[in-house]
Chains A and B, each alone.
Chain A
Amino acid sequence: MAALTPISRTPVTFYVPVVAAAGAFAGLFVGTAQGSGLLGIIAGAALMAVLALAMTRVIENEKTMRWAIAALFLAGGYLLGGIPGAVMGGAFGWFFGWFTYWLYEGRYRAKLPPYLTQGQVLWHFAFRVICGAILVFLITPILVVMPLSFNSQNFFTFTPEMLRFDPAGYSLRHYRDFFTSDDWQQALRNSVMIAPVATLLSVSFGTLAAIGLSSEHVPFRRLIMAILISPMIVPLIISAAGMYFFYSRIGLQGTYFGVVLAHAALGIPFVIITVTATLVGFDRSLTRAAANMGADPVTTFFRVQMPLILPGVVSGGLFAFITSFDEVVVVLFVGSAGQKTLPWQMFTGLREQISPTILAVATILVGISICLLTVVEMLRRRSERLRGMSPE
Chain B
Amino acid sequence: MKTKFIAALAASTALLAPMAMAEDMATDMTLVSWGGAYQKSQVNAYAVPYMDMHPDVKVVWDESSNEAVAKLRAMNEAGNVTWDLVDVVASDAIRLCDEGLAMEIDPDTDLAAAPDGTSAADDFGDLLVSDCFIPQIVYSTTFGYRTDLVGDTPPTKICDVFDLEAYPGKRALEKRPINNMEWALLCDGVAKDEVYDVLATPEGQEKALAKLDTIKDSVIWWSAGADTPQLLADGEVVMGSTYNGRLFSVIVEQKQPVAMLWDAQVFDLDGWIIPAGLPADRLARVKDFVMFATDTQRLADQAKYISYGPARDSSAPLVGKHADLGIDMAPHMPTDPNNATNTFLYNYEFWADYRDDIDAKFQAWLAK
Whether B78 is near chain A, meaning CB under 8 Å from some CB there, is yes
A249 within 8 A of partner (CB): yes
Q: Are B225 and A253 in contact (CB under 8 A)?
A: no
| In contact, B226 and A353 (Cβ under 8 angstroms) | yes
Kindly specify which of A83-91, A149-157, A382-390 makes contact with the partner chain: A149-157
Residues of A contacting B234 with CB < 8 Å? 155-157
Q: B60 contacts A155, CB within 8 Å?
A: no
**Given A248-B78, A336-B82, A353:B62 Cβ within 8 A:** no
Contact A244 B63 (CB under 8 A): no
Q: Is A11 an interface residue (CB 8 A)?
A: no
**Number of B residues with CB within 8 Å of any CB on chain A:** 28
A155 touches B78 (CB 8 A): no
**Residues of B close to A157: CB separation below 8 A:** 230, 233-234
- The CA-CA distance from A245 to B74 in the complex, in Å, is 8
Q: A293–B332 Cα gap in the complex (Å)?
A: 85
Are A337 and B79 neighbours in the complex by a CB distance under 8 Å?
no
Can you name the residue of chain A whose Cβ is closest to the Cβ of B35?
Answer: A352
With an 8 A cutoff between CB atoms, is B30 at the interface?
yes
Which residues of B in the span 29-53 have a Cβ within 8 Å of any Cβ on A? Answer: 30, 32, 34-37
Closest chain B residue to A154, Cβ basis: B254
B window 72-102: CB within 8 A of A: 74-75, 77-80, 82
Q: Does B16 lie at the interface of the complex (its beta carbon under 8 Å from any beta carbon of A)?
A: no
Interface membership of A338, Cβ < 8 A = yes
0/1 string, A169-207, CB within 8 A of B gives 1: 000000000000001000000000000000000000000
Query: Which of A153, A156, A352 is close to B63, meaning CB atoms less than 8 Å apart?
Result: A352
B229 within 8 A of A: yes
Within 337-357 of A, Cβ neighbours of B (below 8 Å) are at: 337-338, 340, 348-349, 351-354
User: Taking each of A183, A253, A254, A354, which has the highest tally of chain B beta carbons within 10 Å of its own beta carbon?
Assistant: A354
- Chain A contact-residue range equals 20 to 34
Name the contact of B78 in the complex, choosing from A183, A253, A337 (C-beta under 8 A): A253
Chain B nearest Cβ from A193, distance in angstroms? 16
What's the least CB distance linking A240 to chain B, in Å? Answer: 11
- What are the residues of chain B within 8 A of A338 when measuring CB–CB? 30, 60
Chain A's nearest CB lies how many Å from the CB of B164? 19
Closest A residue to B33 by CB, please name it.
Answer: A352
Q: How far in angstroms is the closest Cβ of chain B from A125?
A: 38
Interface flag for B344 (CB, 8 Å): no
In the bound complex, do residue B60 and residue A352 qualify as a contact, i.e. CB atoms below 8 Å apart? no
B295 within 8 A of A: no
Distance in Å from the Cβ of A162 to the closest Cβ of chain B? 13
A248 and B62 alpha carbons, distance in the complex (Å): 18
B66 at the interface (CB under 8 A from A): yes
A346 to chain B, nearest CB (A): 12
Given known A337-B62, A353-B36, A354-B227, contact A249–B254 (CB-CB < 8 A): no
Chain A residues lying within 8 Å of B78, measured Cβ to Cβ, are: 244-245, 248-249, 253
Q: Does B61 contact A (CB under 8 A)?
A: yes
Tell whether, in the assembled complex, residue A352 and residue B225 are in contact, meaning their CB atoms are under 8 Å apart. Answer: yes
Chain A, 113-168, CB within 8 A of any chain B CB: 153-157
Per the bound structure, the CA–CA distance linking A348 and B225 in Å amounts to: 12
- Could you say which residues of chain A place their CB within 8 Å of the CB of B36? 352-353
A156 touches B225 (CB 8 A): no
Chain A residues with Cβ below 8 Å from B233 are 153, 155, 157
Q: Which of A153, A244, A337, A352 is B254 in contact with, Cβ under 8 Å?
A: A153
Q: At the interface, yes or no: B224 with Cβ under 8 Å from chain A?
A: yes
Instruction: Chain B residues near A245: list those with CB within 8 A.
Output: 74, 77-78
List of B residues within 8 angstroms of A352 by Cβ = 34-36, 63, 66, 224-226
Are A348 and B63 in contact, CB atoms less than 8 angstroms apart? yes
B229 touches A254 (CB 8 A): no
CB neighbours of A349 from chain B (8 A): 35
The answer to whether B37 and A353 touch across the interface, beta carbons within 8 angstroms, is yes
Interface string of A236-261 (1 = CB under 8 A from B): 00000000110011000110000000
The smallest C-beta distance from A35 to any residue of chain B, in angstroms, reads 14
Residues of the A chain whose Cβ atoms lie less than 8 Å from the Cβ of B37? 353
Task: Note all chain B residues with C-beta closer than 8 A to A249.
Answer: 78-80
* Nearest residue, chain A, Cβ from B255: A153
Cβ of A183: which chain B residues have Cβ within 8 Å of it? Answer: 61
Residues of A within 8 A of B226 (CB): 351-354
Quote the shortest CB–CB distance from B321 to chain A (angstroms): 22
Contacts of A156 in B (CB 8 A): 230, 234
Interface flags, A320-340, vs B, CB<8A=1, else 0: 000000000000000011101
For residue A153, which residue of chain B has the nearest CB?
Answer: B254
- In the assembled complex, the Cα of A282 lies from the Cα of B361 at a distance in Å of 62
**B79 is contacted by which of A153, A248, A351 (Cβ under 8 Å)?**
A248
Measured between C-beta atoms, what is the minimum distance from A323 to chain B in Å? 23
Are B229 and A155 in touch, CB under 8 angstroms?
Answer: yes
B30/A337 in contact, CB under 8 A: yes
Once bound together, how far apart are the Cα atoms of A337 and B63, in whole Å? 8
Min CB distance A310 to B, Å, is: 41
CA gap between A348 and B38 in the complex, in Å: 14
Q: Given the complex, which residues of B lie within 8 Å of A351, measured CB to CB?
A: 35, 66, 224, 226
In the complex, A249 Cα to B74 Cα: how many Å? 12
Task: Please encode chain A, from 265 to 286, with 1 for each CB lying within 8 Å of some chain B CB and 0 for all others.
Answer: 0000000000000000000000
Docked complex Cα distance between A204 and B203 (Å): 65
A183 to B33, CA, bound (A): 14
Measured CB to CB, the nearest residue on chain A to B61 is A337
Q: Jot down 24 A-B pairs with beta carbons below 8 A, ordered by A.
A: A154-B254, A155-B229, A156-B230, A157-B230, A244-B78, A245-B74, A248-B75, A248-B78, A248-B79, A249-B79, A249-B80, A253-B78, A336-B62, A337-B61, A337-B62, A338-B60, A348-B64, A351-B224, A352-B34, A352-B225, A353-B35, A353-B226, A354-B227, A354-B229
Q: Which are the 10 A-B pairs with shortest beta-carbon distances?
A: A352-B35, A337-B62, A248-B78, A353-B36, A248-B80, A155-B233, A348-B63, A354-B226, A337-B60, A352-B36
Instruction: Give B contacts to A, CB under 8 Å.
Output: 30, 32, 34-37, 60-64, 66, 74-75, 77-80, 82, 224-227, 229-230, 233-234, 254
Further 7 A-B residue pairs, CB within 8 A, beyond A245-B77, A336-B82, A352-B224 = A154-B254, A249-B79, A253-B78, A337-B61, A340-B62, A348-B63, A352-B36
